[in-house]
A and B are shown apart, each in its own frame.
Chain A
Amino acid sequence: MLDDFFMRAMLAGLGIAAVAGPLGSFVVWRRMAYFGDATAHAAMLGVAVSLAFQISIYAGTTLVAAAMAVTISGLVTRGQSMDTMLGVLSHSALAIGLVAISFVPQARSDLSAYLFGDILAVGRGDLALIWAGAAGVLALLAWRWQRLLTASLNEELAMAAGIDPRVERLVLSIALAVVVALSIRVVGSLLISAMLIVPAAAARGLSRSPERMVGNAVLIAALAVMGGLTASLYLDTPAGPSIITAAAAFFAFSQVFRRA
């Protein structure tokens, strides 16, 4: 079964969907969309670093994305004007990453694979890493679920209950960095935050509790992966963008059937 590139692509996409549902919900709840963008764009710089130092793409992107996420998280705590700051960091990271990659000769030709993903080229090793990483992030989120949820709802209420919101923010930053690294082969740097936000945003209108929203977001992300990949096979469209297009269609659909 794993010999088939299409089946491997499908399984990789579903692994990302499983973790994008809960993490994407936090991104929506905490209004971290731009934060997600900046972290995902930093992954391009991570790719350049990985190629230059000849380390694993996953390790390099995780490190650089984590550095970016923790930096932004620190700025949030110090109450800087975030909108402009995130815009600056996000696009600078992308631009610097693209410039840096141009110095690595063998990478210039695969630029679009990193920008938009190359899910059909996912190998067994990638697949194992994606599922192991996704399982790790899911376990982390499950372990701290009540604390993360309370801190996302209201930081004062969280502090009164002995929860340190900075710790929970750090947990989400690390989880985000790992998911960004896992997703770079699947949807690419430019569309990772879409993979997080669009299914969760679609699930918001259909859900009355945080847990339902997470469940619906996973379901929608999984259907988007299956629909998008299948469409890309028959219509010969790029896989990553097709998945996001399918997710966007679910979002449009969900707006018509909003419940809460």
Chain B
Amino acid sequence: MTALIQASGLTILRPGGSETVLQGVDFQIRPGEIVTVVGPNGSGKSSLVRALLGHMPLAAGHVERKSGLRIGYVPQRVQVDTTIPMTVRRFLSLPLRVSDGDAARALARTGVEGLEARQLTQLSGGQFQRVLLARALLHDPQLLVLDEPTQGLDQPGIVAFYKLIEEVRRQTGAAVLMVSHDLLVVMRASDRVICLNGHVCCEGTPQHVSSAPEYRALFGAEAEGTLALYRHHHDHDHDHHHHAGAH
């Protein structure tokens, strides 16, 4: 299988400075794969995603996207200004217009059917994230990129959102690249985890990463929780074709 995005030696500088945000990061994502990037605040997670999308200048390295790659993107902290009146239906038609049928189907797929006439600013946090996901799904993406998609959701909302992501992957076969800090839940939903802190600390199956010393050094007590989870529920390897650990 050829990778959807292949990147090597990515180095990114802080805007206007010489300090590096990311140093020598290699990355790839293959069709149908769910890859999650975890890391502390300021570890360069969002910069990595934006570099992969081509929104950020590189100091070194290169990114190769499969030609004609269709990406559905949910950026971090989308804030819709109350000064713009915008219904859910109108939002789905930006920037490419879609038919009412396609809009309704996308909303139904993410569990927010019938919200077309609602103003974006009147949606709850969970509804808004699902509308963003519906919009990202509209043009039959081969890759979904979700940057902290569960920010502002409560615990049941987070669990339900990741279930939805897995379901979408199953139905559409789209690969998913997520940035997240919901360690416990994300570990369960991912095929591969990349632990980032300015560089790739460790990488591999959730099981591998959760027992890696680098990961545990970064996340401390929270990491113990995910490790315990894997000892109890995931002590089998269910994903044979993914290599464990680039370390």
Residues of A at the B interface (CB closer than 8 Å) are 28-29, 31, 79, 146-147, 149-150, 152-154, 156-161, 163, 204, 207-210, 212-213, 260
Give the total of B residues in contact with A, Cβ under 8 Å.
24
Enumerate 28 A-B pairs (CB-CB under 8 Å) in ascending A order. Answer: A146-B94, A146-B95, A147-B95, A149-B94, A150-B94, A150-B95, A153-B94, A154-B75, A154-B78, A154-B79, A154-B80, A156-B75, A157-B75, A157-B94, A159-B55, A160-B55, A160-B75, A160-B145, A161-B95, A163-B95, A204-B83, A208-B85, A208-B87, A208-B119, A209-B86, A209-B90, A210-B84, A212-B85
The chain B residues found within 8 Å of chain A, CB to CB, are 15, 53, 55, 71, 73, 75-76, 78-81, 83-87, 90-91, 94-97, 119, 145
A156-B78, A157-B75 as given contacts; A210 in contact with B90, CB under 8 Å = yes
Q: Which of chain B's residues has its CB closest to A216's CB? A: B85
In whole Å, how far is A76's beta carbon from the nearest beta carbon of chain B? 14
At the interface, is chain B mostly helix, strand, loop or mixed?
Answer: loop
The reply to whether B80 and A153 form a contact with Cβ atoms under 8 Å apart is yes
Best-surrounded residue of B79, B85, B91 (most CB of chain A within 10 A): B85
Q: Are A31 and B84 in contact (CB under 8 A)?
A: no
Cβ contact within 8 Å between A160 and B81: no
- Name B83's contact: one of A31, A147, A158, A163 (CB within 8 Å): A31
Chain A residue numbers with a CB within 8 Å of B76 are: 156
Closest 4 CB pairs of A and B: A156-B75, A160-B73, A150-B95, A146-B95
Chain A nearest CB: distance from B34 CB in Å? 19
Instruction: Tell me which residues across on chain B come within 8 A of A204, comparing CB atoms.
Output: 83, 85
Query: In whole angstroms, how far apart are the Cα atoms of A152 and B84 in the complex?
Result: 9
Q: Is the CB–CB distance between B81 and A157 below 8 Å?
A: no
Q: What's the nearest-Cβ distance from chain B to residue A16, in Å?
A: 22
- Distance in angstroms between the alpha carbons of A204 and B106 in the assembled complex: 28
Minimum Cβ distance to chain B for residue A155 (Å): 9
Tell me whether A153 and B86 are in contact (CB under 8 A).
yes
Q: Which of A158, A163, A260 contacts B85 (CB 8 A)?
A: A260
CB nearest neighbor in B for A27: B83
Q: How far is the CB of A162 from chain B (nearest CB, A)?
A: 9
Q: Is the CB of B96 within 8 A of A161?
A: yes
Report the nearest A residue to B71, measured CB to CB. Answer: A160
Residues in B whose Cβ lies below 8 Å from that of A210:
84-86, 90
A80 to chain B, nearest CB (A): 12
Q: How far is the CB of A124 from chain B (nearest CB, A)?
A: 38
The docked-state distance in angstroms from the alpha carbon of A29 to that of B91 is 15
Q: Taking CB as reference atom, which chain B residue is nearest A78?
A: B16
Q: How far is the CA of A161 from the CA of B97 in the complex (A)?
A: 13
| B80 close to A157 (CB less than 8 A) | no
Q: Chain A residues with Cβ under 8 A from B86's Cβ? A: 153, 209-210
Kindly state the separation between the CA atoms of A15 and B80 in the bound complex, as whole angstroms: 31
Q: How many Å lie between the Cα of A146 and that of B94 in the bound state?
A: 6
Output the residue of B76, B94, B96, B119 with the most chain A CB within 10 A.
B94
With CB as the reference atom, state the residue of chain B lying closest to A158: B95
Residue of B nearest to A163 (CB): B95
Give the distance to chain A from B119, nearest Cβ to Cβ, in Å. 6
Which of chain B's residues have a CB closer than 8 A to the CB of A153?
Answer: 80-81, 84, 86, 91, 94
B85 touches A156 (CB 8 A): no
User: How close is B78's CB to chain A, nearest CB, in angstroms?
Assistant: 5
CA distance A153 to B83 in the complex (A): 10
In the complex, chain A residues whose CB is within 8 Å of the CB of B81:
29, 31, 153
Q: How far apart are A3's CB and chain B's nearest CB, in angstroms?
A: 42
Residues of A within 8 A of B85 (CB): 204, 207-210, 212-213, 260
